[in-house]
Amino acid sequence: MTQNNALKKIKKEGKSGINKIRILHYLFKLGKASVHQVCTAIQLSAPTTLALLSELVNDSWVEKKGLGNSNGGRKPDLFGMAAGKFYILCINIELFTVHISLFDNTLAPQGKTVAIPYSLSKDRESFQSVLKQAKELVKNSNIPQEKLAGVSMCLPGLTNPETGENFGYLTDNNDTRPLRDYCAAFFKVPVIIQNDVNAAALSELHCGKAKGKKNALVLLMDWGVGLGIIMDGEVRKGASGFSGEIGHIPFEDNGALCYCGKHGCLETVASGVALAKMAKEGIAAGQHSILKELSNQELEKIEPRLIVEAANKGDLFAIKLLSNVGSNIGKSISTLIQIFNPELIIMEGRIAAAGEYITLPMLQSINTYCMLQIREKTEIVSSDLGISANLLGCAVEGVNHFFEEHTK
């Protein structure tokens, strides 16, 4: 029996079955909870909740996870989902690399993450090789095929999770199916897609520095610049899933042409692509920098990671480039702080790895352009999740979708 059918079996129990699935979903979100916490969240009586939990324990969906805190009385039992009940195949598509990993229903990674060199474009045909390697990963994982609940993908650009479409990449004039449906036909399981920065925000909210926060922003500073918006404890994706496209807000009058077709977008002066471009142009114009040596004299190999490395070695040219990017991002972020009044801003991505070379000029810009009463309530931190952030966000979205589909 597939896990999908297992939940269908639970759902056939009627109202109690739906409540069981709601309990499972709540335990996933919280990790572990007492009977009282479940009662409050699901709005069921204590006897009913205890009975449903007992049945879920007997069916191996739930297990005891130790004891909770007490104010003097008996410590309550804590319950959580059992591991290995189903799995989500997660695919994080970047501009030049694809990361693939398997997670179970408790977000435990299964084996190593696979990194595949890949140049993201409109071409779907070249993407077939990635899909085949993803399928091979599942095959070699020793996970029963029937336990694969679905595939969860994220990629940059305008991505509509409701329609399953991406409007910039992996399109095909000869195949008008949305990207989601195209991939679902390949894997023979449900597929969901979302924007990469929304995936990053989900991971931070579920198991990162935004956990327990109500209002936070996740700033993804990678090859592009994106914004994940957390309001009232939820990731806000907008009407079409397009929220947070900060990289394409107007920044410079008569600025450089952006790949989106407009001039002067923030990404033309504050993205990984812009950073690498400015470094190559500077060195070609005679600027002294150890980036020549780090790239083995091949300027086309210069990328944000090398620029950060050069800065850490004291390279003044690299430090200046990062400082300029930090100042530009800080000016843009000051506007967002005024609009959203976040308690926390989390920085992620290759450029965020530059640390103080980015944050100090960024904070100086924020202090210059943002009202004191608003900015003093905002903490700015770097993410601890590293390259796992987007994949974790895919896993969170996959598990959420799995449960939500069975409570409709």
pLDDT in tens, 320-374: 999 999 999 999 999 999 999 999 999 998 888 888 899 899 999 999 999 998 8
Residue-level pLDDT at 407: 83
* CATH 1.25.40.20 holds for 3-81: no
Rounded to whole angstroms, the Cα distance separating 389 from 62 reads 26
pLDDT of residue 299: 81
What whole-number distance in Å separates Cα of residue 101 and Cα of residue 124?
21
Instruction: Write out pLDDT tens, residues 259-305.
Output: 888 999 999 999 999 999 999 999 989 999 999 888 888 888 888 88
Give Dmax over CA atoms of the chain in angstroms: 76
One fold for 87-199+389-405 and 209-384: yes
8 has a pLDDT exceeding 80: no
pLDDT for the residue numbered 5: 64
Q: What is the pTM of this model?
A: 0.90
Residue 1's pLDDT is what?
42
Give percent of the chain above pLDDT 90: 70
Q: Token pair 């650009």 is at which residue?
A: 157
pLDDT in tens, 225-246: 999 999 999 999 998 889 989 9
Domain boundaries, the chain: 3-81, 87-199+389-405, 209-384
What fold, for 87-199+389-405? Nucleotidyltransferase; domain 5 (3.30.420)
Structure tokens at 206: 């579920």
CA of 344: how far to CAs of 206, 208, 215, 266, 359, in Å? 15, 12, 7, 22, 14
Which tens digit of pLDDT belongs to each residue from 296-329? 888 888 888 899 999 999 999 999 999 999 999 9
At 279 the pLDDT is 93
**Angstrom distance (rounded) from CA 123 to CA 129:** 12
User: Which strand (E) or helix (H) includes residue 282?
Assistant: helix 272-284
Average pLDDT over residues 144-154: 92
In this structure, are residues 156 and 224 in contact, taking their beta carbons and an 8 Å threshold?
yes
Distances (CA, A) of 138 to 1, 125, 199, 275: 18, 21, 21, 37
Higher-confidence residue of 17 and 4: namely 17
Q: Which CATH superfamily is domain 209-384 in?
A: ATPase, nucleotide binding domain (3.30.420.40)
The first and second tokens of residue 249, run together, are: 């807000």
pLDDT at 318: 94
Q: What is the pLDDT of residues 81-113, one digit of tens each?
A: 999 999 999 999 999 999 999 999 999 999 999
Given a cut of 70, whether residue 2 has pLDDT beyond it is no
Rounded to an integer, what is the distance from CA 70 to the centroid of its chain?
A: 35
pLDDT in tens, 178-219: 999 999 999 999 999 999 999 999 999 999 999 999 999 999
Alpha carbon 84 to chain centroid, angstroms? 22
Which residues, including other chains, have CB under 8 Å from residue 146's CB and lie 6 or more apart?
1, 2, 3
Q: What integer is the mean pLDDT of 33-62?
A: 94
pLDDT tens digits for range 66-83: 988 877 778 888 999 999
Q: What percent of the chain has pLDDT over 70?
A: 99
> Is the per-residue pLDDT at 118 higher than 50?
yes
